[in-house]
Amino acid sequence: MRRYLLLIPLVCVVGGCPLPFHPPTPAAPKLREEPKTGRSYWLYVPSYYSADREWPLVVTLHGTYGWDGPWRQAMEWKYVAEQHGLLVAAPLLRSVQGMLPTLDLLWFADLAKDEQLVLAMIDEISQKYRVDREAILLTGFSAGGYPLYYVGLRNPDRFHMLIARACNSGHKIFERVKVTDQARKLPVMIYWGRDDLGAIHKESWLAFRWLRDNGFRRAERHRVQGGHLRRPELAYRYWKPYLPDKYRKKPGAD
């Protein structure tokens, strides 16, 4: 355990662990409980939300405990959400362990439970708010890549696009995915920092190669400046061209 504790300062220096400055917003993320699973998530709803129209939904999956969490994800996404008219949901996950070893049996059980939470959470939010089912982004950061690929590729009918932000991946995850024609139609964007951790470089390329080898022609990858950072504004920039035209204008614009 001590060697992992020693890694914390190093990872924070390389990747920027502290929560970066985020501009204030009129509303704040709120902690919710999903009734079917009894598990929690943070939800951000723009201050000008109205049931008069549908809204895109971002489901953002956090990284390894101690380095990331759902509250951090919600806090970093809230300004982007307020600016562009997005609902943002950040569930508390069990399968996002990117440093310490795990037993496969327990890990896949956690992945299955996280899958149940994500899908149930989307259903609950859709009952309370006007979610556009054709504009739901699933995005993960760091170890959040494990549930990103597991949940997203196994449920391609539930998501509009997948975006991996400096994400972990692995053959064990992809072995649990049944590749379908519907899944192959999903746009998948993978990006990571030039100064990111070695494992992130390796596993980002692994994911991209697996996707292209399995017929995901809409899979793309980019290496960007910087280290191990969440970059929600960049995720939105990559998602925007795939959104329906009605969402591409800034809220309130003519």
Non-local CB neighbours of 90 within 8 Å, separated by 6+ positions: 29, 41, 42, 43, 59, 60, 61, 62, 70, 71, 73, 74, 77
pLDDT at 252: 53
User: Using an 8 Å Cβ cutoff, are 174 and 148 in contact?
Assistant: no
Q: Flag residues of the chain having pLDDT under 70.
A: 1-21, 98-101, 248-254
Task: Determine the Cα–Cα distance for residues 215 and 96; give it in Å rounded to an integer.
Answer: 27
Superfamily of domain 2-17+29-247 in CATH is: Alpha/Beta hydrolase fold, catalytic domain (3.40.50.1820)
Tokens 């009918």: give the residue.
Answer: 157
pLDDT at 132: 98
User: Using an 8 Å Cβ cutoff, are 75 and 22 in contact?
Assistant: yes
pLDDT at 22: 75
Task: Give long-range contacts, CB 8 A cutoff, 24+ apart: 154-157.
Answer: 154/115, 154/178, 155/115, 155/119, 156/180, 156/182, 156/183, 156/185, 156/186, 157/182
pLDDT at 135: 97
Record the pTM.
0.90
pLDDT at 23: 85
pLDDT at 21: 64
For the chain, the structural domain boundaries read 2-17+29-247
pLDDT at 253: 52
